[in-house]
Amino acid sequence: MKHTLFFLCFGAACLVTASAPDETCELKRIPQYSLDRLLQAYYKNELPVPPKQARLLRLATTATSDGEKKEYYFLAFEIRPAGKDKKLTILHGTQLLEIEPGTYGVSVWDSTRTLDRWYEPITLSCPFSYTQRFATAIQCKANGWERLAEELLARSVKGSDSHGDNSLFNWRLQKTEESAVAFLAWVTLGNELTRPQTDRNAISKKMRALFNREPLLCVEKNCNFLNALVAATGPNCAPVGSCAHLVNDLAEVHSNYLAGQYQGDPRYIRVASQGFDIVPELIAHLQDTRITRAYFGGIMNAVPHFYDVGTLCRRLLFELAQGDLERENDEENDTRHSQWWTTDDAVKQWWQRACQEGERSYLNRVVLPKRESDERPKSACVTLLASRYPYDLIKVYEQVLTSRSDVQTSEIAEAIRKSALPLDSKLSVLKRAAQHQNNDIRETALSEIWELEKNR
């Protein structure tokens, strides 16, 4: 049987540190689990298995515990040694990762060695978390390292990563080996869906097979997710370049792996750059449940989840409407923002007002913050003014220099520099700003002038 490595995540890995394990914790075998049955289920689900010749590595880092620096470590398989780019490729759990040089102290681990109490109080982050050592235990079993596999399996019960029953990708230790590995496969496929260029149609078929095979996965929320995923994998039949085509493309927007941000995706930027022209299409898709590759990583009681196309449409509209929704009263602000995210009526009422005003007049009116405490101009409005009405942006900048020195100017000055304005027009207003009495305004302008002169 052929086993393939599912995905590759580029970039340095994030670290999440935890306190040191309790020295008195007695390692116990999980009696209801057989490593033989776990391995059989692991093969059945085609989860990644390291090559037989792959070395087991110890990756260590230091962290402070009780005021004292300690060296913590975890185990992973070496898939590709550090090459010319000096990056090391490892298999950690079911994740294939590239590690930047200097991130960890790396050494080969003897598979006959007993784990000590500093083993794996850290974990490499991924969109939907799980206990990587559970997968590593099964991989060690595949290599014939029985004792180490038993130890890792025992450790995996100590702190399985879980966000409760509300999470769509909630990995927990289950009653049977088949169920435990099925949930591991489900989370692995969920993580793979966030990667750019992966075949979501093929992944959806694997997830559907899991859904049909594992009773604990066969629940309504998973059924709804799979239906939304299938809808997202369909062809984009709208005319290329049309607003409908651009909005359909949002289904492929993905998050930056480390930061979990999606606003930098070119597809998202293309939609944002359309201004008022695309607003009716965005409003038409507010209830679009198609799954994107973008995700929310979870914080406190908020569980990790995928963003759908409707959420991205609402976010794009909010970025455009934010300046108009803003009020001096914090309580009124909170109410208006809450209504925006929970009802379509609030969005439609805003658009009716903005449409009557017209794009150009609207952007000039709302680009600057109403309250001095906010300081930052509205990014979406700055971007649209720079691309569509660049001379208006110069007037906005001059307004800041004259009467709104409380506003941060870095975004406006940079947008002017990058705009299609003639060089003389750019230099003229930036040189005036470079003589401003406000130190921040002056330094920002000098920096942008330097960039212009450098690229002449």
Under a CB-based contact definition with an 8 Å cutoff, are residues 108 and 152 in contact?
Answer: no
User: How is residue 328 written in tokens?
Assistant: 């001096």
Neighbours of 281 (CB within 10 A): 19
Whether 177 is covered by a domain: the verdict is yes
Distance, CA of 326 to CA of 305 (rounded, Å): 28
Residue 121 confidence (pLDDT): 55
Phi/psi zone of residue 66: left (φ > 0), alpha (ψ -120 to 50 degrees), beta?
left
Whether 144 is covered by a domain: the verdict is yes
Residue 331 confidence (pLDDT): 63
Residue 3 confidence (pLDDT): 42
Which of 408, 333, 335 is CA-nearest to residue 372?
408
Residue 23 confidence (pLDDT): 36
Residue 32 confidence (pLDDT): 72
**Residues of the chain under the 50 pLDDT cut:** 1-31, 163
User: How is residue 88 written in tokens?
Assistant: 């090391």
Distance, CA of 325 to CA of 336 (rounded, Å): 7
Whether 373 is covered by a domain: the verdict is no
Residue 26 confidence (pLDDT): 40
Q: What confidence tens digit (pLDDT) does each residue in 145-202 have?
A: 999 999 999 888 765 555 455 678 877 778 899 999 999 999 999 999 998 889 999 9
Residue 92 phi/psi, 5-degree rounding, is -115, 110
User: How is residue 286 written in tokens?
Assistant: 């507010």
User: How is residue 255 written in tokens?
Assistant: 């998050």
Whether 213 is covered by a domain: the verdict is yes
Whether 320 is covered by a domain: the verdict is no
302: DSSP letter: B
126-154 in b/e form (b: 16+ CB < 10 A) is: bbbbbbbbbbbbbbbbbbebeebbbbbbb
Residue 110 confidence (pLDDT): 94
Domain count, the chain: 1
User: How is residue 131 written in tokens?
Assistant: 């206990």
Whether 377 is covered by a domain: the verdict is no
Residue 419 phi/psi, 5-degree rounding, is -75, 175
Residue 12 confidence (pLDDT): 37
Whether 255 is covered by a domain: the verdict is no
Residue 48 confidence (pLDDT): 95
Whether 141 is covered by a domain: the verdict is yes
Distance, CA of 381 to CA of 136 (rounded, Å): 49
Burial group, residue 3, by CB count within 10 angstroms (0-12, 13-18, 19+): middle
Under a CB-based contact definition with an 8 Å cutoff, are residues 333 and 326 in contact?
Answer: yes
Residue 29 confidence (pLDDT): 43
Containing domain of residue 187, as a range? 8-230
